[in-house]
């Protein structure tokens, strides 16, 4: 029994270390995203799109900082003393993750619209279409996993959150994949890497929901979940760094 508790303790420490690493990467991604946005001219159509992206990443960082207060038990006493405020802080504010995902969509759709306006006749490549076909099963996978492996969780609302979150993440990933095709047809380069990194980030986040759904039966999945979230953060950091390098090189 002591060995089991020691194992669970090690998993918790590993997960916490990965969470702190993820938080550091997310802070860097937010800073770089705003730097790239600031280097775009006021009349540049891309400026509004990258404003949405920067705001979306900042919103996610905000809710991650809220999660840090839960991990380190530093939630203000007035919140803990009020059942309503506690429920909002612990259960309600996690939906800011989904709001963050949805904030990315206007940016991705605007960039897609600008590419279409060039009249170059971009088309979806077969391999990208295959990725789009594989994305919709992600929310279904999350639903099935948590229905069979996580039915006994105390926080019943987490099931709905995971399903909605995986669905929103699927939409964002699909939009990024759609942007990869025209970028590659234009010769690849930085734009293909930017949207490819963003697409990988979205897929990693979708898989993280699946790992979390398996955690009640397989505690090791908690570490895998956080590792996938770290991958998500690294994907967006790479995308923002490449964008900053791109807009800086134009000056």
Domains of the chain: total: 1
What pTM was estimated for this model as a whole?
A: 0.86
CATH number of the CATH domain containing 29: 1.20.1070
Domain hosting residue 92, numbered range? 2-249
- Say if residue 152's pLDDT is above 70: no
- Give me 203's structure tokens: 């897929």
Q: What is the mean pLDDT of residues 200-226?
A: 86
pLDDT band at residue 155 under the 50/70/90 scheme: low
**pLDDT tens sequence across 67-78:** 999 988 899 999
- Say if residue 51's pLDDT is above 90: yes
Q: What is the mean pLDDT of residues 169-197?
A: 77
Which phi and psi (to 5°) does residue 166 adopt?
A: -65, -35
Which string of DSSP letters, residue by residue, matches 208-222?
Answer: HHHHHHHTTT-THHH
pLDDT band at residue 226 under the 50/70/90 scheme: very high
């Amino acid at each position: 029994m002591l060995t089991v508790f020691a194992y669970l303790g090690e998993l918790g420490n590993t997960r916490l270390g990965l969470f702190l690493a993820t938080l550091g990467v997310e802070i860097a991604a937010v800073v770089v995203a705003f730097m790239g946005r600031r280097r775009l001219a006021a009349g540049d159509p891309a400026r509004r799109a990258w404003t949405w992206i920067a705001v979306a990443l900042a919103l996610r960082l905000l809710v991650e900082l809220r999660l840090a207060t839960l991990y380190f038990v530093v939630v203000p006493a007035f919140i803990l003393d009020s059942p309503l405020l506690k429920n909002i802080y612990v259960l309600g504010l996690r939906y800011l993750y989904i709001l963050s995902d949805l904030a990315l969509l206007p940016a991705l759709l605007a960039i897609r619209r600008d590419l279409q306006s060039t009249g170059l006749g971009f088309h979806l490549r077969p391999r990208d279409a295959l990725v789009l076909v594989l994305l919709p099963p992600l929310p279904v996978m999350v639903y099935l996993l948590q229905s069979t492996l996580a039915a006994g969780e105390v926080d019943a609302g987490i099931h709905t959150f995971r399903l909605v979150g995986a669905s929103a993440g699927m939409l964002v990933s699909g939009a990024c994949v759609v942007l990869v095709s025209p970028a590659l047809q234009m010769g690849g380069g930085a734009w293909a890497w930017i949207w490819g990194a963003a697409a990988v980030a979205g897929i990693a986040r979708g898989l993280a929901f699946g790992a979390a759904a398996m955690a009640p039966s397989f505690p090791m999945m908690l570490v895998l979940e956080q590792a996938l979230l770290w991958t998500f953060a690294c994907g967006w950091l790479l995308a923002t760094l490449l964008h900053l390098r791109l807009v800086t090189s134009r000056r």
